[in-house]
Amino acid sequence: GQQVMQIPQYQHVQEGEDFTTYCNSSTTLSNIQWYKQRPGGHPVFLIQLVKSGEVKKQKRLTFQFGEAKKNSSLHITATQTTDVGTYFCAGARDFGNEKLTFGTGTRLTIIP
Amino acid sequence: NAGVMQNPRHLVRRRGQEARLRCSPMKGHSHVYWYRQLPEEGLKFMVYLQKENIIDESGMPKERFSAEFPKEGPSILRIQQVVRGDSAAYFCASSLATGVAEAFFGQGTRLTVV
Tell me the average pLDDT across A63-82. Answer: 97
pLDDT at position B40 is 79
DSSP assigned state of B26 = P
Contact of A95 with chain B, judged by CB distance below 8 Å, is answered with yes
Phi-psi region of B59 (alpha: psi -120 to 50; beta: other; left: phi over 0): alpha
Nearest of A56, A81, A68, A71 to residue A21 by alpha carbon: A71
- Rg of chain A on CA atoms, in Å: 13
Q: What is the mean pLDDT of chain A?
A: 93
Listed by number, the residues of chain B in 38-67 with a beta carbon closer than 8 Å to a beta carbon of chain A are 41-45, 48, 55-56, 58
Nearest of B43, B36, B47, B20 to residue B85 by alpha carbon: B36
pLDDT at position B1 is 54
pLDDT at position B73 is 92
What's the distance, CA A67 to chain centroid? 16
Residues of B in contact with A99 (CB under 8 A): 33, 45, 48, 55-56, 58
The tens place of each residue's pLDDT in chain B, 114 residues long, gives 579 999 999 999 999 999 999 999 999 888 899 999 998 788 999 999 998 899 899 999 999 999 999 989 999 999 999 999 999 999 999 988 655 678 899 999 999 999
Distance CA A29, CA A91 (A): 6
